[in-house]
Amino acid sequence: MTVDSIPDFASRWESMRPAGPAPMMATWVVMILRAMVFLASLRNRA
- d(Cα 38, Cα 6) in Å, to the nearest integer? 11
Q: What is the 3-state secondary structure (H, E, C) of 9-46?
A: HHHHHHHHCCCCCHHHHHHHHHHHHHHHHHHHHHHHHC
The 10 Å Cβ neighbour count of residue 37 is 15
Confidence at residue 24, expressed as pLDDT on a 0 to 100 scale: 74
Q: Where are the domains of the chain?
A: 5-45
Strand, coil or helix: 7: helix
Confidence at residue 38, expressed as pLDDT on a 0 to 100 scale: 95
Confidence at residue 1, expressed as pLDDT on a 0 to 100 scale: 55
Confidence at residue 43, expressed as pLDDT on a 0 to 100 scale: 92
Segment 6-43, tens digit of pLDDT: 666 666 666 665 556 666 778 888 899 999 999 999 99
